[in-house]
A and B are shown apart, each in its own frame.
Chain A
Amino acid sequence: MASVSETHPANKPSPARWLVVAVPYLWLLLFFVAPFLIIFKISLSETAIAMPPYTPLFDGFGAIGDFVSELDFDNYLFLTDDPLYIEAYLSSLRIAVISTFLLLLIGYPMALAMARAPTMLRPTLVMLVILPFWTSFLIRVYAWIGILKPDGLLTLLFQSVGLFGADDQVQIFRTDYAVFIGIVYSYLPFMVLPLYSALEKMDNTLLEAASDLGCPPWKAFWKITFPLSLPGVIAGSMICFIPITGEFVIPDLLGGADTLMIGKTLWTEFFGNRDWPLASAVAVILLIMLVVPIMIFQNQQKKVA
Chain B
Amino acid sequence: MAKSLGPVKRKFSPWTDPSAVPFIRFENITKRFGDFTAVDNLTLDIYEREFFSLLGPSGCGKTTLMRMLAGFEEPTEGRILLQGKDISGVPPYRRPTNMMFQSYALFPHMTVEKNIAFGLEQDNLPKGEIATRVEEMLKLVKLEQFAKRKPNQLSGGQRQRVALARSLAKRPKVLLLDEPLGALDKKLREETQFELMDLQTKLGLTFLIVTHDQEEAMTVSDRIAVMDKGLIMQVATPAEIYEAPNSRYVADFIGDINILEGTVASTDSALGAPGTVRIDCDGIAVSVEQECQAVVGDKVAFAVRPEKVRIAPDQPAVTSVNAVYGEVWDIGYLGDFSVFLVKLADGRVVRAAQANVSRLVDRPITFGDMVWLTWPLDAGLVLTR
Q: What is the interface of chain A, defined by CB distance below 8 A to chain B?
A: 203, 205-206, 208-216, 219, 223-224, 227-228
Write out the residue numbers on chain B whose beta carbons fall within 8 Å of the beta carbon of A219.
122
Question: At the interface, is chain A mostly helix, strand, loop or mixed?
Answer: helix
Whether, in the assembled complex, B97 has its beta carbon less than 8 Å from a beta carbon of chain A, the answer is: yes
Whether, in the assembled complex, B101 has its beta carbon less than 8 Å from a beta carbon of chain A, the answer is: yes
CB distance from B139 to the nearest CB of A (A): 20
Contact A214 B107 (CB under 8 A): no
Ordered by A's residue number, 13 sampled pairs between the chains whose C-beta atoms are within 8 Å are A206-B107, A208-B72, A209-B107, A210-B107, A210-B118, A211-B93, A212-B71, A212-B98, A213-B98, A213-B118, A215-B93, A223-B118, A228-B109
| Cα–Cα distance between A227 and B106 once the two chains are bound (Å) | 14
Write out the residue numbers on chain B whose beta carbons fall within 8 Å of the beta carbon of A227.
109
Q: Which of B139-172 contact A (CB under 8 A)?
A: 166-167, 170
Contact A212 B103 (CB under 8 A): no
Contact A205 B101 (CB under 8 A): yes
Of A212, A214, A228, the most chain B CB neighbours within 10 A belong to A212
Whether, in the assembled complex, B78 has its beta carbon less than 8 Å from a beta carbon of chain A, the answer is: no
Tally B residues with Cβ within 8 Å of A: 24
**6 A-B pairs closest in CB distance:** A213-B119, A214-B122, A209-B105, A205-B105, A211-B92, A211-B93
Once A208-B72, A208-B92, A209-B99 are accepted as A-B contacts, the answer to whether A214 and B105 lie under 8 Å apart by CB is: no
CB distance from A204 to the nearest CB of B (A): 9
| Cα–Cα distance between A219 and B93 once the two chains are bound (Å) | 11
CB distance from A25 to the nearest CB of B (A): 33
Once A205-B101, A208-B101 are accepted as A-B contacts, the answer to whether A214 and B108 lie under 8 Å apart by CB is: no
Whether, in the assembled complex, B297 has its beta carbon less than 8 Å from a beta carbon of chain A, the answer is: no
| Cα–Cα distance between A211 and B170 once the two chains are bound (Å) | 13
Whether, in the assembled complex, B91 has its beta carbon less than 8 Å from a beta carbon of chain A, the answer is: yes
Contact B101 A215 (CB under 8 A): no
Contact A208 B108 (CB under 8 A): no
Contact A224 B107 (CB under 8 A): yes
| Cα–Cα distance between A219 and B124 once the two chains are bound (Å) | 13
CB distance from A230 to the nearest CB of B (A): 8
Contacts beyond the supplied A205-B103, A205-B105, A208-B99: 6 A-B pairs with Cβ under 8 Å: A209-B105, A210-B118, A213-B98, A216-B91, A224-B107, A227-B109
- Chain A's closest residue to B92 (CB) is A211
CB distance from A77 to the nearest CB of B (A): 48
- Chain A's closest residue to B176 (CB) is A212
User: A213 touches which one: B71, B108, B109, B122 (CB < 8 A)?
Assistant: B122
CB distance from A235 to the nearest CB of B (A): 17
Write out the residue numbers on chain B whose beta carbons fall within 8 Å of the beta carbon of A212.
70-72, 92-93, 97-99, 167
CB distance from A213 to the nearest CB of B (A): 4
Contact A203 B119 (CB under 8 A): no
Write out the residue numbers on chain A whose beta carbons fall within 8 Å of the beta carbon of B282.
none
CB distance from A188 to the nearest CB of B (A): 27
Once A208-B72, A213-B170, A228-B109 are accepted as A-B contacts, the answer to whether A203 and B118 lie under 8 Å apart by CB is: no
- Chain A's closest residue to B109 (CB) is A227
Contact B103 A203 (CB under 8 A): yes
Contact B72 A214 (CB under 8 A): no
Contact B170 A214 (CB under 8 A): yes
Residues 111-126 of chain B: 1 if any A CB is under 8 Å from the residue's CB, otherwise 0? 0000000110011000
Contact B103 A211 (CB under 8 A): no
Contact A211 B91 (CB under 8 A): yes
Contact B122 A215 (CB under 8 A): yes
User: A208 touches which one: B97, B105, B109, B166 (CB < 8 A)?
Assistant: B105
Contact A213 B166 (CB under 8 A): yes
User: B108 touches which one: A210, A211, A216, A228 (CB < 8 A)?
Assistant: A228
Once A212-B99, A214-B119 are accepted as A-B contacts, the answer to whether A206 and B93 lie under 8 Å apart by CB is: no
CB distance from A276 to the nearest CB of B (A): 50
| Cα–Cα distance between A209 and B97 once the two chains are bound (Å) | 11
- Chain B's closest residue to A204 (CB) is B105
- Chain A's closest residue to B103 (CB) is A205
Of A206, A211, A223, the most chain B CB neighbours within 10 A belong to A211
CB distance from B298 to the nearest CB of A (A): 48
CB distance from A299 to the nearest CB of B (A): 18
Write out the residue numbers on chain A whose beta carbons fall within 8 Å of the beta carbon of B72.
208, 211-212
Write out the residue numbers on chain B whose beta carbons fall within 8 Å of the beta carbon of A216.
91, 93
Write out the residue numbers on chain B whose beta carbons fall within 8 Å of the beta carbon of A203.
103, 105
| Cα–Cα distance between A203 and B170 once the two chains are bound (Å) | 23
| Cα–Cα distance between A208 and B72 once the two chains are bound (Å) | 7
Of A211, A213, A219, A227, the most chain B CB neighbours within 10 A belong to A213
| Cα–Cα distance between A208 and B91 once the two chains are bound (Å) | 11
Write out the residue numbers on chain B whose beta carbons fall within 8 Å of the beta carbon of A209.
99, 101, 105-107, 166
Write out the residue numbers on chain B whose beta carbons fall within 8 Å of the beta carbon of A214.
93-94, 119, 122-123, 170
Write out the residue numbers on chain A whose beta carbons fall within 8 Å of the beta carbon of B93.
211-216
Write out the residue numbers on chain B whose beta carbons fall within 8 Å of the beta carbon of A211.
71-72, 91-93
Write out the residue numbers on chain A whose beta carbons fall within 8 Å of the beta carbon of B92.
208, 211-212
Write out the residue numbers on chain B whose beta carbons fall within 8 Å of the beta carbon of A210.
107, 118
- Chain B's closest residue to A230 (CB) is B109
Residues 243-261 of chain B: 1 if any A CB is under 8 Å from the residue's CB, otherwise 0? 0000000000000000000
| Cα–Cα distance between A219 and B119 once the two chains are bound (Å) | 12
Of A203, A219, A228, the most chain B CB neighbours within 10 A belong to A203
| Cα–Cα distance between A216 and B103 once the two chains are bound (Å) | 21
| Cα–Cα distance between A224 and B115 once the two chains are bound (Å) | 11
| Cα–Cα distance between A23 and B210 once the two chains are bound (Å) | 55
| Cα–Cα distance between A146 and B137 once the two chains are bound (Å) | 65
